[in-house]
Amino acid sequence: MKKFMIISSALLISLLLAALVCACTIDQGDPIPDTGAEPTSGGETEPVTAEGTYGTTVPSTEETAAPVTSAEPAVTTGITTTEPATETTVTTETPTTSTAQITLPVITAPVFKADLSDYEKYMNPVDEDWSDVYLVLLNAANPMPKDFENKTEYAYLNSRVKVGSTGIFTYSPSLYFNETAFNAFTAMVLEAHEYGIDSIDITSGYRSYSKQQSLFNNNVSKTKKYVCDSCEHVCITKNSYKKCELCGSAVTEVEITYEEAAAQVATYSCAPGTSDHQSGLAVDVVQTTLPSKYKSLIQEFGTTECGIWLAEHCWEFGFVLRFPPDKEEVTGIIYEPWHFRFVGRYHSLMMHELDICLEEYLVYLEETGYFEEESGVTSEMCKNIIPEYPETAAGED
């Protein structure tokens, strides 16, 4: 037992002496091995160069930056473990960053049969605000205030003219339309005439908040709810509904709430404050020479020669088909081949080439830095899409 205690005491004394020797060695300034990273006050790491200086944090696609190694031990003279060196040296590659630039499609000027040179300034507005002012978005997520017409930020939309005889074509309704958009629309009708497409009429233009409210409430009041007596399929509609569309059995009308009716109506008639028509930049059209059924707004209009031509060429005049057939989940509105919206030719060209709707386009512009001051996109780009007109075309006297 005494032998065991002597051995234990000897070991303990040996350990204490070894610790004392290590402490003395550190105090004499022996180099500290390079670990590759030093914790900052925020708990993150800053890369360390081979020379031992601390660099600024470098963006990386990796979750954790790889430590910097060196064949030679790091020199720690003049560098503390709490304060970074005054001079910053980074040896790792820094990713190149720049302001996002909008991706432009191939700029192709439209080719017109008619001489529309007098209308160019309307189709392709290049003024102090150029066509950006026509990008106003109205939908369920971006409602317009009830008293918007008294707001200065909407003043440009108040530049409306009465739709009637233009001296070239006569439109039957007494409606209002934004002056720039109306002149661009007139140019579109003139060009359609060159393709044998006439009798394009406007059925709806600008609508006030109160007018939209009246239309919406009227549609809600006419909406009914039916339940199939056999399969219990539910149908909410303002159309006549006597047999189940699924199994053909009889249906029974049941009580419907305002919310149910309003939700259904909102798919084809916007609630007040959310209608594209309230911008003063939207128009509904028909072709009066078509059979009587086409004089109402129906989706079959998109299959007619007039509907097809307008959908394909509207961008040339600064318009877009506001509610395309493949964007219903984005716009929240059913396909409306009769509804066209003015945005100016620069933006209509972009939307046409990118095959996106207004909601998607505004997100695209935001994500690509278009609205940033240094985005590199200017109204000068509009001038690249000004066509040559018949009387001034190259090669003609």
Which tens digits make up the pLDDT trace of 100-118?
Answer: 455 566 667 899 999 999 9
- Active-site residue (options: 63, 83, 179, 336): 336
CA gap 376, 390 in Å, rounded = 33
**Angle at alpha carbon of residue 68, lines to 66 and 72, rounded to 5°:** 155
Higher pLDDT, 61 or 355: 355
CA gap 250, 243 in Å, rounded = 5
Q: Which of 187, 160, 140, 173 is nearest to 279 (CA)?
A: 160
Bridge partners of residue 339, in order along the sequence: 284
- The enclosing H or E element of 193 equals helix 179-194
Contact 293, 303 (CB under 8 A): no
Distances (CA, A) of 192 to 72, 199, 307: 78, 10, 11
SS3 assignment, position 353: helix
Q: Which of 297, 357, 362 is nearest to 324 (CA)?
A: 357
State pTM to two decimals: 0.66
Of these ranges, 137-151, 208-222, 298-312, the one predicted with the greatest mean pLDDT is: 298-312
Contact 230, 198 (CB under 8 A): no
Least confident of 104-108, 109-113, 204-208, 227-231: 104-108
**CB atoms inside a 10 Å sphere around CB 245:** 12
Distances (CA, A) of 339 to 56, 68, 90, 156, 195: 55, 61, 57, 21, 21
Percent of the chain with pLDDT over 70: 63
Q: Which two tokens stand for residue 381?
A: 């780009």
Query: 336 an active-site residue?
Result: yes
Go through the domains of the chain in sequence order and give each one's CATH number. Answer: 117-207+275-391 (3.30.1380.10), 208-272 (no CATH)
Residue 129 has pLDDT above 80, yes or no: no
CA gap 323, 9 in Å, rounded = 91
**Residue 346's pLDDT is what?**
87
